[in-house]
């Protein structure tokens, strides 16, 4: 005998309520109108779908977007709801980061409600940037062409991009550096349940700065192609394995965005590679100028300039610091690495939070949340010391 299946709306409602961890009896009491508590039970049993006004009341009671309750947006496309429902990546390392990511999305939605013009301006630029996507079926070609198109559309010169976070945030995508377990390079979270789709990229601040730049460029490719779901995890172990086509495309995009072929060839032609020592120094200079790791630099110079990859690999010292010292680049290297592992909030979100705080639109707790800090009282004192006076 086949059991009767509940309507989709009833199954969705049951999933959302289970994820809310609120007893049904308590919710029914909270939502009752003139003593009528039956509608919630009727809905959960699949007998009668709630009205829009009932959905709206439930939305406020359990802090779930109305669009998710009504089914306009699937549960899987709302990051916070999917997280509570256990529908996302369940690795323990990832769970250490997703709570912060959920708060960041909430903060972003709140701040953009006060600054809608910023949402609109950056959303238009992101739509323009997505025109860079090459849909050829060859991942290597698609990654390279997309990076080249992206630079052309955003009118970025052929040289190195000095501030990758600024470029990404200009598209309305906050970038947050935060400590993560060693197994992770970063994550990208997306939520479609608000007024518009919002995305946040979080990068492991424990990685060295060149790896952080590559992770950010890699995740940007996923955003442009919209092949990242509600949660995309950039895991070190996965990166070491054979990548799927989307991951390969994102790696190639990152390489060409950070180091375009034209700029690489120009650099190599103007460099002294007459001896082993001078070639080693050239590699060190390349790493600093383009902000890439040793391995990425070797692959780039080999693929772009035809240099023997084995010969380049043979130059690798025990420590990168030794290479930089021998090449006379130690001071620049140390300056570049200074503060590389310090957590950093989204500059864009922080600027909005501070402006909103000064205008009395948000409390110091919002600023503290954007900063990734729990000590609200200390943040408020720091704001006062730095001259940020709220109009509250």
Helices (H) and strands (E) in the chain, counts: 22, 4
317 falls in which pLDDT band (50, 70, 90)? confident
pLDDT of residue 34: 44
Of the two residues 290 and 89, the one the predictor is more confident about is: 290
Average pLDDT of span 264-293: 89
Tens-digit pLDDT profile for residues 123-155: 999 999 999 999 998 999 999 999 999 999 999
What single-letter DSSP state applies at residue 375?
-
Q: How far apart are CA 146 and CA 172, in angstroms?
A: 19
pLDDT at 389 over 70: yes
**Would you state the structure tokens that stand for residue 134, as one six-digit string?**
């090459």
Average pLDDT of span 79-106: 81
Q: How far apart are CA 370 and CA 176, in angstroms?
A: 9
Tens-digit pLDDT profile for residues 192-220: 877 678 999 999 999 999 999 999 999 99
β-strands 184-191, 175-178 pairing: unpaired
CB 98 within 8 A of CB 231: yes
Tens-digit pLDDT profile for residues 4-58: 678 888 888 888 888 888 888 888 887 775 456 688 888 888 888 888 988 888 8
Average pLDDT of span 271-283: 85
Q: How far apart are CA 315 and CA 254, in angstroms?
A: 24
Average pLDDT of span 60-73: 85
Tens-digit pLDDT profile for residues 48-58: 888 898 888 88
pLDDT of residue 390: 66
Distances (CA, A) of 84 to 12, 26, 104, 187: 14, 19, 16, 18
CB 353 within 8 A of CB 379: no
pLDDT at 239 over 80: no
Q: How far apart are CA 218 and CA 256, in angstroms?
A: 11
Rg (CA), the chain: 25
pLDDT of residue 36: 65
Q: How far apart are CA 48 and CA 205, in angstroms?
A: 50
Tens-digit pLDDT profile for residues 176-187: 999 999 999 999
pLDDT at 1 over 50: no
Average pLDDT of span 231-255: 81
What single-letter DSSP state applies at residue 36?
B
Average pLDDT of span 102-111: 94
Q: How far apart are CA 24 and CA 7, in angstroms?
A: 19
Question: Which range, of 226-240, 263-277, 279-293, averages the lowest pLDDT?
Answer: 226-240
pLDDT of residue 236: 79
Where do the domains of the chain lie, and which CATH numbers do they carry? 8-72 (1.10.260), 92-257 (no CATH), 261-337 (no CATH), 347-385 (no CATH)
**Would you state the structure tokens that stand for residue 295, as one six-digit string?**
């391995």
Mean pLDDT over the full length of the chain: 88
pLDDT at 90 over 70: no
Q: How far apart are CA 390 and CA 392, in angstroms?
A: 5
pLDDT of residue 342: 95
pLDDT at 92 over 80: no
**Would you state the structure tokens that stand for residue 317, as one six-digit string?**
């010292």
pLDDT at 242 over 80: no
Tens-digit pLDDT profile for residues 347-385: 999 999 999 999 999 999 999 999 999 999 999 999 999
What single-letter DSSP state applies at residue 204?
E
β-strands 198-204, 231-235 pairing: unpaired
Of the two residues 54 and 341, the one the predictor is more confident about is: 341
């Amino acid at each position: 005998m086949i059991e009767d299946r509940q309507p989709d709306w009833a199954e969705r409602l049951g999933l959302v309520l289970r994820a809310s961890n609120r007893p049904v009896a308590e919710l029914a009491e909270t939502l009752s109108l003139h003593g009528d508590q039956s509608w919630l039970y009727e809905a959960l049993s699949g007998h009668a779908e709630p009205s829009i006004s009932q959905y709206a009341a439930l939305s406020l009671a359990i802090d779930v977007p109305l669009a998710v309750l009504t089914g306009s947006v699937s549960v899987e496309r709302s990051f916070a709801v999917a997280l509570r429902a256990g529908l996302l990546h369940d690795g323990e390392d990832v769970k250490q980061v997703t709570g912060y990511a959920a708060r960041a999305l909430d903060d972003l939605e709140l701040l953009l409600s006060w600054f809608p013009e910023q949402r609109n301006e950056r959303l238009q630029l992101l739509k323009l940037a997505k025109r860079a996507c090459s849909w050829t079926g060859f991942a290597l070609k698609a990654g390279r062409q997309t990076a080249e198109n992206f630079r052309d559309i955003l009118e970025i010169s052929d040289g190195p991009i000095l501030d990758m976070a600024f470029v990404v945030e200009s598209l309305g995508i906050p970038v947050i550096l935060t400590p993560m377990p060693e197994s992770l390079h970063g994550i990208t979270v997306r939520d479609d349940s608000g007024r518009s789709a919002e995305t946040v990229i979080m990068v492991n601040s424990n990685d060295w700065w060149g790896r952080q730049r590559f992770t950010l460029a890699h995740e940007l490719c996923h955003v442009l192609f919209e092949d990242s779901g509600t949660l995309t995890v950039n895991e070190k172990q996965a990166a070491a394995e054979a990548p799927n086509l989307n991951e390969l495309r994102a790696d190639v995009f990152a390489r060409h965005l950070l180091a375009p072929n034209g700029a690489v060839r120009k650099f190599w032609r103007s460099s002294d590679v007459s001896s082993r020592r001078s070639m080693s120094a050239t590699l060190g200079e390349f790493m600093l100028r383009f902000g890439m790791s040793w391995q990425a630099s070797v692959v780039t110079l080999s693929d772009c300039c035809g240099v023997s990859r084995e010969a380049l690999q043979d130059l690798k010292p025990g420590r990168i610091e030794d290479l930089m010292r021998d090449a006379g680049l130690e001071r620049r290297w140390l300056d570049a690495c200074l503060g590389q592992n310090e957590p950093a909030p989204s500059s864009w979100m922080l600027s909005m939070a501070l402006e909103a705080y000064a205008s009395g639109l948000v409390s110091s707790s919002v600023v503290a949340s954007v900063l990734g800090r729990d000590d609200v009282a200390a943040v408020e004192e720091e704001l006062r010391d730095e001259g940020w006076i709220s109009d509250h």
